[in-house]
Amino acid sequence: MSNSQHPTEREPAPVQSVDRAITILELLARTEAGITEIAAELGVHKSTASRLVHTLKSRRLVEQHGERGRFSLGMGMMRFTGAVAGQLDIVQIGNPVCEELAERLGETVNVAVLDATDTINVSQARGSSAVAAQNWIGQRTPSHATASGKALLALASPDELDDLLSGELVSYTPRTITDAEELREVLKKTAEDGYATCFEELEPGLHAIAVPVVGPGDDAVAAISAAGPAYRLSKKRIPEVVEELRRGARDLADRMAYLSR
């Protein structure tokens, strides 16, 4: 044990450290504070509080006013507030778009966003013909095995694509694409066609078609998809479904642009 560590205090476990870091951020969201106050709030020795605060400071989540000054939330927090606000906007305006599309197509319609190598569904509506009761909202799905994921990856940066292809492409059904070069070719064609398909690649009997929602700078800010059973959402319906999804994607993009004015 080092001389600087309180004799009755053990090094916090990783989960405990996360909890303490969040407590610090919550405290600084209310008021500026010094190490003594932060330590008192956590109920730990000042040396432990100092280590936690300076770790947050190194990631710009916390900033210090003067060499020995008090601490407040840092500009790095804007990365999270901006991301959350953006996703909340998509949820808020995505729901009516999903409902309109679901009514026209009769299938389940989702809006999804890319998060690292996964895709997260943020809005959903079920059409009159939809029989599945599964709720996909908030669920992470593997981008390489979903239509929304492929629609997003087709317009992703080279770094994002390299991150995905650097890991194992897990097989979910016999039709899942697990070869990196094959996936690159599929994504290239997806970018050219402007839509992505997923025919029994995530679940047997499940088909899906998706198009990107393009924002400023031609970046894909989301994807909108229709999913249904293979016997109903057949390959013959691709032109019809793609046309409806593109209309919905333009509507969603227009609503997001209006909201950001």
How high is the pLDDT of residue 12? 52
Whether pLDDT at 67 is above 50: yes
Mean pLDDT of 107-114: 92
Give the mean pLDDT of the chain: 85
How far apart, in whole angstroms, are the C-alpha atoms of residue 244 and residue 225? 10
Whether pLDDT at 78 is above 80: no
How far apart, in whole angstroms, are the C-alpha atoms of residue 226 and residue 232? 12
Whether pLDDT at 244 is above 90: yes
How far apart, in whole angstroms, are the C-alpha atoms of residue 132 and residue 126? 9
How far apart, in whole angstroms, are the C-alpha atoms of residue 134 and residue 152? 22
Which of the four pLDDT bands, split at 50, 70 and 90, describes residue 6? very low
How far apart, in whole angstroms, are the C-alpha atoms of residue 22 and residue 223? 32
Q: Which domains does the chain have, with CATH numbers?
A: 16-79 (1.10.10.10), 84-260 (3.30.450.40)
pTM over 0.85: no
